[in-house]
């Protein structure tokens, strides 16, 4: 994984966190809340939106950051932290004969 890709992922995580934190309330949405704020949406759309509430987004961002940090730590420990022209699989010794 290149440094540019890591930076890109971190920026997307930051964007997701910023938007989730900008939402009103405690971050937990219910179908009933969305009936008030978005009465023109169908029940199915409100149900889906409630499932993707800001609190869930923040939990997902935290998990994604942990996975990325674990990957970066493992790659660094194996001496493959700096990007090169070859793929991450090749640098980590998982080429298995692929071109």
pTM: 0.70
What pLDDT is attached to residue 24? 67
What pLDDT is attached to residue 80? 72
Q: How many structural domains compose the chain?
A: 1
| E strands in 38-93 | none
**Any domain includes 78:** yes
Predicted confidence (pLDDT) at residue 6 exceeds the cutoff of 90: yes
**Any domain includes 96:** no
**Any domain includes 97:** no
The DSSP 8-state label assigned to residue 98 in this structure reads -
pLDDT in tens, 13-71: 999 999 999 986 778 888 888 888 888 999 999 999 888 899 999 999 999 999 999 99
What pLDDT is attached to residue 79? 84
The token pair at 33 is 């809340």
Domain that holds residue 44: 3-91
């Amino acid at each position: 994984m290149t440094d540019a890709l890591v930076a890109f992922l971190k920026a997307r995580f930051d964007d997701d966190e910023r938007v989730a934190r900008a939402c009103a309330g405690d971050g937990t949405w219910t179908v009933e809340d969305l009936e008030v704020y978005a009465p023109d949406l169908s029940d199915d759309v409100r149900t889906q939106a409630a499932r993707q509430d800001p609190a869930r987004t923040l939990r997902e961002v935290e998990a994604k950051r942990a996975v990325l940090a674990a990957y970066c730590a493992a790659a660094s420990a194996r001496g493959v932290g700096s990007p090169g022209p070859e793929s991450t699989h090749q640098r980590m010794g998982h080429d298995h004969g692929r071109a």
